[in-house]
Amino acid sequence: MSAVRRSLSLLGGASRSSSSLIGSSSSSSSPISSLISSSSIIGSSSLIGSSSLLGSSSPGLVLLSLSTDVFQNLALEEWIDAHLDLQKLRLLLLWRNRPSVVIGRHQNPWMEADLPVMRRAGVPLARRRSGGGAVYHDLGNLNATFFSSKQAYDRRRNLKVVTDALKRLRPQLDVRATERLDIVLNGHLKISGSASRLSRKSSYHHLTLLHSADRASLSSMLRPSCAGIHSNATPSVRSPVANLKFGLSAAPSLVDPSDDSAFPGVLAAAEDLRGWDWTFGKTPKFSVQTSLPGGGHLSLQVVSGRMEDVELSLLEDWIPERLIGALRDALSGEKFCRKHAAAALNARLLQGGGAQHRVKGLCDDIINALG
């Protein structure tokens, strides 16, 4: 938690006297919306005015999530946007996650993330509700979400709040917002990327701030895991990155998204975000065309995360056509996933007869091609 408190100073976090725990076992059992509207919160030093972090004369509140679970924190964002009246209240949520990769709503995970590397490292993939590109999170990265009414939505103002806070702490820093609404250090090193979502009446704009992130993991996981993909999904723009690190501290108001009494439905929403149907099934339609090591060619369509129109051709007739057809049929309708493809293909190996050894080699090539 100390790293978070140090990072909070980058954004001019809430005052030291603001240490109430919202949504924890030590707080009231009232919903958070009641807590925020109560006199104890409205009268606290978490509120900030026109020259403060939120850059507005309207009331504001700074919250820090106690959770480091990416799915809980993404669900908490959605809960705040859906349940709090943001027409008169401006709110900043600060949060960190254990190592994870987060892609935008309209992105293709196989194009954005090295899924095999992530699986071996036990790093989850999450798809957020907002657009934008893929990002790597760990405890050395601070996430900040600015909530406001739709009318007050202003990403450039929010970025100016961050860059101004950084310059106040370290006047010699060369930090600025770009046309792409990133924040860069020394003109080219990206330290923050952002995305947003606008609802009917409200909005939120979230950004990353690299404090002391593991850049080796970032670079190893933010790269494609499957060759030969053709897609109209939103691509990420790769940029060189740098970290910021400071030694100051601040104490915000704390919230616990795992407290279902304070945030009814957040845990269920987190499970939805964790599920395959959302993370992979919502990928825009794409196609794969790739060569196989043995001289063959594989092409297929992926719709809602499942394989269709599978075509498999070999340069030589070293496997009977009926077995090739059986392999095509085995893949059709299956999830575009090594694990599921392997299970489906292995079930057909028994049909290989004398060609079983060669069929297994072909199956391995197909599985490896799926990323």
193 vs 187: CA distance, rounded Å:
14
> 3-state SS of 33-71?
HHHHHCHHHHCCCCCCCCCCCCCCCCCEEEEEECCCCHH
Domain at 2-275, CATH homologous superfamily: Bira Bifunctional Protein; Domain 2 (3.30.930.10)
Give the H or E element holding residue 140. none
**For residues 329 and 1, which has the higher predicted lDDT (pLDDT)?**
329
Instruction: Render pLDDT for 9-54 as a digit per residue (tens, 0 to 9).
Output: 444 333 333 333 333 333 333 334 433 433 222 223 332 232 344 4
**For residues 263 and 211, which has the higher predicted lDDT (pLDDT)?**
263
Amino acid at 114: D
> Residue 279: is its pLDDT beyond 80?
yes
Instruction: Render pLDDT for 70-92 as a digit per residue (tens, 0 to 9).
Output: 999 999 999 999 999 998 888 99
Q: In what order do the strands lie in the sheet with 286-291?
A: 229-231, 286-291, 297-303, 306-313
No. of helices (H) and no. of strands (E), the chain? 13, 17
Tokens of 287: 């196609």
Instruction: Render pLDDT for 217-265 as a digit per residue (tens, 0 to 9).
Output: 999 999 988 888 888 766 665 555 445 444 444 456 899 999 999 999 9
Q: How buried is 76 (Cβ within 10 angstroms: 0-12 exposed, 13-18 middle, 19+ buried)?
A: buried
**For residues 246 and 146, which has the higher predicted lDDT (pLDDT)?**
146
**For residues 298 and 59, which has the higher predicted lDDT (pLDDT)?**
298
Task: Give ranges for CATH 3.30.930.10 in the chain.
Answer: 2-275
Q: Which range (55-69, 209-223, 226-240, 315-329) has the least confidence?
A: 226-240
> Residue 200: is its pLDDT beyond 80?
yes
* Mean pLDDT for all residues in the chain: 79
282 vs 3: CA distance, rounded Å:
34
Res. 111 pLDDT band, cuts 50 70 90: very high
Is residue 166 a contact partner of residue 174, using CB atoms and an 8 Å limit? Answer: no
* Average pLDDT over every residue of 356-365: 75
The DSSP 8-state label assigned to residue 234 in this structure reads: P
Determine the pLDDT at residue 235. 66
Determine the pLDDT at residue 48. 29
Instruction: Determine phi and psi for 261, rounding to 5 degrees.
Output: -75, -30
Determine the pLDDT at residue 271. 98
Domain at 286-369, CATH homologous superfamily: CO dehydrogenase flavoprotein, C-terminal domain (3.30.390.50)
Determine the pLDDT at residue 24. 36
Tracing tokens 């679970």 back to the chain, one arrives at 69
> 3-state SS of 172-202?
CCCEEECCCCCEEECCCEEEECEEEEECCCE
Task: Give ranges for CATH 3.30.390.50 in the chain.
Answer: 286-369
The DSSP 8-state label assigned to residue 108 in this structure reads: -
Determine the pLDDT at residue 205. 95
Instruction: Render pLDDT for 149-189 as a digit per residue (tens, 0 to 9).
Output: 999 999 999 999 899 888 888 889 899 999 888 899 998 88
How is the chain split among helix, strand and coil, in percent rounded to 5? 35, 25, 45
